[in-house]
Amino acid sequence: MILFFGDPHTRFSHVLDAVMQYRPAAIVLLGDIQARRPLDVELASILDLTEVWFIHGNHDTDTDLYYDNLFGSQLADRNLHGRVVEIAGVRVAGLGGVFRGQVWMPPQPWNYLTPQAFATRCGKGNLWRDGVPRKHRSTIFPSDLAALFSAQADILVTHEAPSAHPHGFSVLDELGQSLGVSTVFHGHHHDRLDYRSHRQRLGFATFGVGLRGITDMHGQVLRAGELD
């Protein structure tokens, strides 16, 4: 069993409690983690009980602290962004971050294909740690999707939402269809809408996991989001 967790936003007690109660084979955090301590420290009590995986959200690059406690933690290699990993016998693809107009706001054409292209144009004074500004470490670039479009997966996890959400993106529909997934889970919007009418059009089931909510891999709500 895999459990999917909506945006934690600095709080992890419900994550620890759920793992103790349900004993899943793995968990996936759907972004906006904002760990105040290294993520492996926040989740230390469950690391021997389950596999921890994540994608990042837009708020995970708000400060140096949030960035380092995620990308510099001992769980940094559990980031699913831009790749497919077999987890508990299921192929899971991940796409973290958000679309930003300065780089790419689908369906508009992209302005920069890669982070490297953006870094060469944003001015040396704007660079952060010899790369793109920290904020844009959570920006989706077209190159982030490129490798995924040639892969196959069973589940896609994203921070942004497919077009079933009023603020979602059809390019994520296309990604899910190209991957051949049966299910998409997303965070970001802090809500859980009824997407059942979209399933036939999209070709996959979609579930938004609300603020600090928990959903199992079949779409069953184990903990309602705080704003659901």
Residue 59 CB partners (closer than 8 Å, separation 6+): 7, 9, 32, 34, 66, 138
pLDDT digits (tens, 9 = 90+) for 158-204: 999 999 999 999 999 999 999 999 999 999 999 999 999 999 999 99
Structure tokens at 48: 């021997």
Question: Domain 2-223's class?
Answer: alpha beta
Read off the tokens for 1.
Answer: 């069993």
Domain ranges for the chain: 2-223
pLDDT-derived band at 124, boundaries 50, 70, 90:
confident
Position 152 pLDDT exceeds 90: yes
Q: Which pLDDT score is estimated for 64?
A: 98
Q: Which residues have a Cβ under 8 Å from the Cβ of 131 and sit 6 or more positions away? A: 115, 119, 137
State how far the Cα of 195 lies from the Cα of 113, in Å rounded to an integer.
31
